A and B are shown apart, each in its own frame.
Chain A
Amino acid sequence: MATKTASTQHKEVLITGFGGQGIVLAGQILGKAASLVDRKESTLTQSYGPEARGGACSAQVIISQSTIHYPYVRIPHIVLCLSQGGYDKYANSVRSDGMLIVDQDLVRISEGSDRTLYRVPATRIAEELGRKMMANIVMLGFLSAVSDVVTKDALHATVVKSVPKGTEELNSTAFHKGYDYGAAILKGIEKKAAGKKGAKS
């Protein structure tokens, strides 16, 4: 599983988008799952402007095996972008061994980056399920498939606990759709890698 980032002592995750997309909720679910279920240390900080919706917004999650002093991202391991602005601002700040995950319908990718990049139709998947606002949960499902910064079970359980009553099942489905999409992409990459290997020998 070369494409799955190894879990080390300290991971920095940045989630960016607009106010109203559930960016902070996604960060909160991730941090909570890592802290209360996976039993690691985690912090969540958020930044937003004076407006309630539509402004640029980001959530920063640090997950670590030891005490977290500085609760902000310095060089992110993982950047999730649900807006073009977030991508433009942070795409180049990702660690060389880190990963970028973008909503493919909201973000136009610029050429030339050698970081691992995943394109996810998160908003489209959420729309197909009937609620566009669940794109954040689709993204979390995807994240748990391609990275082991948090365990899938912890994240799923926390999603179900954190969403409004009556929407648990729908959000659970959104999470699994995201996870399955990630798992399928990884499988594709593995197959491709195996194929290349085969061709070489």
Chain B
Amino acid sequence: MRPEVLTGEHFLTGDEACAEGALAAGCRFFGAYPITPATEIAEHMALHLPEVGGTFIQMEDEIAAMASVLGASCAGAKSMTATSGPGFSLMMENLGLGIYTETPCVLVNVQRAGPSTGLPTMPAQGDMMQARWGSHGHYEIIALAPSSPQEMFYQTITAFNLSEIFRLPVLIMADEVTGHLSEKVVIPEAAAIKLQTRKLPKGRKDRFKPFQPGPDGIPPMAAAGEGYGIHVTGLTHDERGYPVMSPDAHEKLVARIVGKIRNNLHRIIETESYRLDDAEIALISYGVSARSSLAAVDEAREKGIKAGLLRLITVWPFPEELIASLAKRMKALVTVEINLGQIHLEVERCSRGQCPAFLVGHAGGTVISPDRILESLEAISK
């Protein structure tokens, strides 16, 4: 048996760091179907999850993988899956089930270039809007975007914490480069890592209502088999979990579930600013594209262009107010992402016409070079 949490300095890929983050966060169930470039997460979990008493299952496909994760979570285990492109599409239906049944879990998408099977071994950030709206119905989602193996480690822990606090599936929207990039990862002692676990019910088991929210809008969660009466359905349900086919019940439930995120934006949204204080043009980026952007900011500054970067650590919920206030004081906003304009649409919307918004992007298959960003900055600043 290895220690519960690996500690110290390691030279790890982002995928390995993600798996280590999951183990450190207390993940004890991983159900997945292997797919490049997320396979290494499954491999690492298959090797090490049994060592800490957890369960790894390779399911028959991604639909079943997502279902297995929801089931394990309902039984009380912190659970996770990891996939890419086509697998992410297959998981969409059960992602919605997880949101509506308020089942905490973590879904990692190491993005490769699509549509369809696309370029399996090459990077893209083309699933960002799918992350937001890929499942049917109206909902809110939390999606994080790591830029390094070290962040893959920490964001996986953060994703578990947020999922447990808000009783929701949380997405990690990584990319092929961040997943396969090797870099130093420092893993602290277990005692230094703050973990959250779902609120548990109190009181009489026979009077328990599995979807009766506390004052924070979040219901305590009982594990199946503990003696609490539990009914879980994807149909619109009341506080007992029983189906209720009425617009009123639907309005009440959807509004509460959406409210869990909308009323807690300040607790969820995380961003990082780089040289923005005196900047005139703000780059907005995330994941590996933020690394290209950091290099471009430094090179632009050397050429006398006052550029800065807002790095989105949380992509969903979107930092709407922050973008609006940036747009007010910038000459331009430039979104850098490996797609043909997804987060760019949000930036454009949230800039509220206060300054022009540009896109530096392409369809995928490679990273965005700092040179291309620099060219764009030079053209805009002229």
Q: For chain B, which range describes its interface: under 10, 10 to 19, 20 to 34, or 35 or more residues?
A: 20 to 34
Distance in Å: Cβ of B22 to nearest Cβ of chain A: 22
A46 to B181, CA, bound (A): 7
With contacts A36-B11, A45-B177 taken as known, whether A70 is within 8 angstroms of B295 at the C-beta atoms is yes
Distance in Å: Cβ of A68 to nearest Cβ of chain B: 8
Task: Tell me if B's interface is mostly helix, strand, loop or mixed.
Answer: mixed
Interface string of A68-89 (1 = CB under 8 A from B): 1111101000000000000000
Q: Which residue of A lies closest to B13 (CB)?
A: A44
A43 to B121, CA, bound (A): 18
How many residues on the A side are at the interface (Cβ–Cβ under 8 A)? 21
Say yes or no: A43 contacts B182, CB within 8 Å. Answer: yes
Number of A-B contacts (CB under 8 A): 60
Say yes or no: A71 contacts B291, CB within 8 Å. Answer: yes
Say yes or no: B183 contacts A43, CB within 8 Å. Answer: yes
Interface string of A21-49 (1 = CB under 8 A from B): 00000001001100110000111111111
With contacts A35-B11, A50-B120, A72-B367 taken as known, whether A44 is within 8 angstroms of B292 at the C-beta atoms is no
- Chain B residues whose CB sits within 8 angstroms of the CB of A43 once the complex forms: 181-183
A74 to B292, CA, bound (A): 12
Distance in Å: Cβ of B181 to nearest Cβ of chain A: 5
Interface string of A154-196 (1 = CB under 8 A from B): 0000000000000000000000000000000000000000000
Answer whether residue B328 sits at the interface, using C-beta atoms and an 8 A cutoff: no
A32 to B183, CA, bound (A): 8
Answer whether residue B370 sits at the interface, using C-beta atoms and an 8 A cutoff: yes
Interface centre among B121, B182, B291, B298 (most CB of A within 10 A): B182
Say yes or no: B121 contacts A50, CB within 8 Å. Answer: yes
Distance in Å: Cβ of B29 to nearest Cβ of chain A: 29
With contacts A69-B294, A72-B367 taken as known, whether A45 is within 8 angstroms of B181 at the C-beta atoms is yes
A31 to B181, CA, bound (A): 11
Say yes or no: A44 contacts B181, CB within 8 Å. Answer: yes
Distance in Å: Cβ of B287 to nearest Cβ of chain A: 12
Answer whether residue B28 sits at the interface, using C-beta atoms and an 8 A cutoff: no
With contacts A35-B184, A44-B182 taken as known, whether A71 is within 8 angstroms of B121 at the C-beta atoms is no
Task: Tell me if A's interface is mostly helix, strand, loop or mixed.
Answer: mixed
Say yes or no: A70 contacts B292, CB within 8 Å. Answer: yes
Say yes or no: B11 contacts A28, CB within 8 Å. Answer: yes
A45 to B180, CA, bound (A): 7
A48 to B298, CA, bound (A): 30
Answer whether residue B302 sits at the interface, using C-beta atoms and an 8 A cutoff: no
Say yes or no: A41 contacts B184, CB within 8 Å. Answer: yes
Distance in Å: Cβ of B123 to nearest Cβ of chain A: 10
Answer whether residue B9 sits at the interface, using C-beta atoms and an 8 A cutoff: yes
Say yes or no: A69 contacts B182, CB within 8 Å. Answer: no
A44 to B14, CA, bound (A): 11
Distance in Å: Cβ of B313 to nearest Cβ of chain A: 16
A44 to B120, CA, bound (A): 19
- Chain B residues whose CB sits within 8 angstroms of the CB of A74 once the complex forms: 369-370
Say yes or no: B9 contacts A36, CB within 8 Å. Answer: yes
Tell which of A42, A46, A50 touches B183, judged by Cβ atoms closer than 8 Å: A42
Say yes or no: A69 contacts B180, CB within 8 Å. Answer: no
A46 to B123, CA, bound (A): 12
- Chain B residues whose CB sits within 8 angstroms of the CB of A49 once the complex forms: 121
- Chain A residues whose CB sits within 8 angstroms of the CB of B11 once the complex forms: 28, 31-32, 35-36, 42, 44
Tell which of B177, B184, B292, B295 touches A36, judged by Cβ atoms closer than 8 Å: B184
Distance in Å: Cβ of B110 to nearest Cβ of chain A: 14
- Chain A residues whose CB sits within 8 angstroms of the CB of B298 once the complex forms: 69
- Chain A residues whose CB sits within 8 angstroms of the CB of B120 once the complex forms: 50
- Chain A residues whose CB sits within 8 angstroms of the CB of B295 once the complex forms: 69-70
A38 to B368, CA, bound (A): 30
Q: Which residue of A lies closest to B12 (CB)?
A: A32
Distance in Å: Cβ of B285 to nearest Cβ of chain A: 11
Q: Which residue of B lies closest to A59 (CB)?
A: B182
A68 to B9, CA, bound (A): 17
- Chain A residues whose CB sits within 8 angstroms of the CB of B121 once the complex forms: 47-50
Extra inter-chain contacts (14) besides given A35-B184, A71-B177, CB under 8 Å: A32-B11, A32-B182, A36-B10, A44-B181, A46-B180, A47-B121, A48-B121, A69-B292, A69-B298, A70-B292, A70-B294, A71-B288, A72-B367, A74-B369
Give 10 nearest A-B pairs by CB, closest first.
A69-B294, A44-B182, A32-B11, A70-B295, A69-B295, A35-B184, A69-B291, A43-B183, A35-B11, A70-B370
A-B contact pairs, 9 of them (CB 8 A): A28-B11, A35-B183, A35-B184, A42-B184, A45-B180, A50-B36, A50-B121, A71-B183, A72-B367
